[in-house]
Amino acid sequence: MNHFAYHKGVLHAEDVPLAAIAESVGTPTYVYSTATLTRHIRVVTEAFGDRPHLICYSVKANSNLAILRLIAERGGGFDIVSGGELARVRHVGGDAGKTVFAGVGKTQEEMEAALAAGILLFNVESAEELEALDAVGRRLGRRAPFALRVNPDVDARTHRYISTGLKTSKFGVPFEEAVALYARAKKMKGLLAAGLDCHIGSQLTQTAPIRAALSKVAGLYSALKEKGHPLAYLDVGGGLGITYLDETPPSPEEYARTVLAAAGATGATLILEPGRALVGNAGVLLTRVLYRKKTPARHFVVVDAGMNDLLRPALYEAHHGLQPLVKRRGKAVEVDVVGPVCESTDVLAKARPLVLPQAGELFAFMSAGAYGMSMSSTYNSRPRPAEVLVDGAAWRVVRERERVEDLWRGERA
């Protein structure tokens, strides 16, 4: 569910007409809905009922400080993959004690900062990382709490670029090596085995892969407990999908039933790492039509947002709905909506039926709250978009549009 809807033919974010934001702030601009985000947090939390669990929002999905603060104020934790994300979480008052640190390439400097901050858990992804974390723990005189991320070799049935649970993936340690690694860690004075972790991919739309992976991991968790490892947390990862076009992902309630059926008997406190499921449908990207162009093969509509602003279509061949901010009657034609970036892959919407727009008309790319702004860049020396947060009838800029001068800040001619 989201709070972007038409009222008398005008697309609104909650009670605010999006065209008013576009005219005031300019385009391209990301707009987020407070009501949508907070509802998603509540629904996911309620789905797990009184089962001990912790929601750790995946910061990489959208790391805007205003988004992070909303989550922290509602008692949420965080899933981070860099020292920079830890700094963002701490800046908004997020609790490091409700934060897990994932990622295959943590530096020892990042480990030290996280351990000193009181991180809940390091999700360790290789034997050598385990040794590095032990060295950090001994150097700081602390036992670093960790969970091994195991790779269950389960096909997530999602896009190949966001499938992370197969043997060919760079993520996690092979399932069959986990017992030996926990045994090694037991002899390391800088480590404390606090949990077990698994994550098989993103934009998951079926429960079968989730059930298969967590059943294996739950069995391993119980076996490790029997061997005397003081585990308390079972991190089941994230990846719950959303609807971009015609996907039918599990509801939060169905997802919770699947997780609890597979892992509920362990007695562990469950850690959940939703990102897209919370923020994906809570954001849109506003853009303005620049030109129209017709060739013998195509109708093109050129807009001022490009692949540097919204990378997912170029990177994943991803679909984002496209809605005019003001509805217009007329006969639809099939068009390719393209951006100004000097790349053939800068196609944001391919073969879409649209009433052919005029230059200056405004559109919204829907479901752009996750992996939109967080993956944006300044490619072609294009300043990154502004970001706006709507709350009821009020709205505010939560990130100013970059200026041209910002593009070379820190450079020397």
What is the tens place of the pLDDT at every residue in 102-155?
999 999 999 999 999 999 999 999 999 999 999 999 999 999 999 999 988 765
Spatial contact of 116 and 108, defined as CB atoms under 8 Å apart: no
Please give the annotated binding residues, written as ranges: 239, 273-276, 312, 316, 343, 371
Locus of tokens 């385009």? 27
pLDDT along the chain (413 residues), means of 10: 93 98 98 97 94 96 98 97 98 98 96 98 96 98 96 61 54 87 96 93 82 90 95 92 89 93 92 95 98 94 98 94 95 96 97 95 98 98 98 98 96 94
Catalytic site includes residue 198: no
Q: Identify residue 93 by its one-letter amino acid code.
A: G
Residue 279: per-residue pLDDT: 97
Report the C-alpha gap between 205 and 208 in whole angstroms.
9
Phi, psi dihedrals of residue 147, rounded to the nearest 5°? -135, 135
Residue 168: per-residue pLDDT: 61
Is pTM beyond 0.85? Reply is: yes
Residue 205: per-residue pLDDT: 82
Handedness of CA 45, 117, 142, 180 (dihedral sign): positive
Give me Rg for the CA atoms of the chain.
23
Residues written for the chain: 413
Residue 155: per-residue pLDDT: 58
Residue 386: per-residue pLDDT: 98
Report the C-alpha gap between 63 and 69 in whole angstroms.
10
Residues 6 or more apart whose CB falls under 8 angstroms from that of 40 comprise 1, 277, 278, 279, 281, 282
Residue 159: per-residue pLDDT: 46
Residue 225: per-residue pLDDT: 96
Please give the annotated binding residues for substrate, written as ranges: 276, 312, 316, 343, 371
Residue 162: per-residue pLDDT: 42
Report the C-alpha gap between 366 and 107 in whole angstroms.
36
Please give the annotated binding residues for pyridoxal 5'-phosphate, written as ranges: 239, 273-276, 371
Tell me how far CA of residue 7 lies from CA of 39, 147, 244, 317, 388, in angstroms. 21, 49, 22, 31, 20
Spatial contact of 235 and 55, defined as CB atoms under 8 Å apart: no
Domains of the chain, start order: 4-32+280-408 (2.40.37.10), 34-277 (3.20.20.10)
Report the C-alpha gap between 370 and 63 in whole angstroms.
9
Active-site residue, selected from the candidate residues 1, 297, 342, 413: 342
Share of the chain residues as helix, strand and coil, in percent rounded to the nearest 5: 35, 25, 40
How many Cα atoms sit within 13 Å of 350 on the Cβ side? Answer: 10
Q: Is the peptide bond before 52 cis (omega within 30 degrees of 0)?
A: no
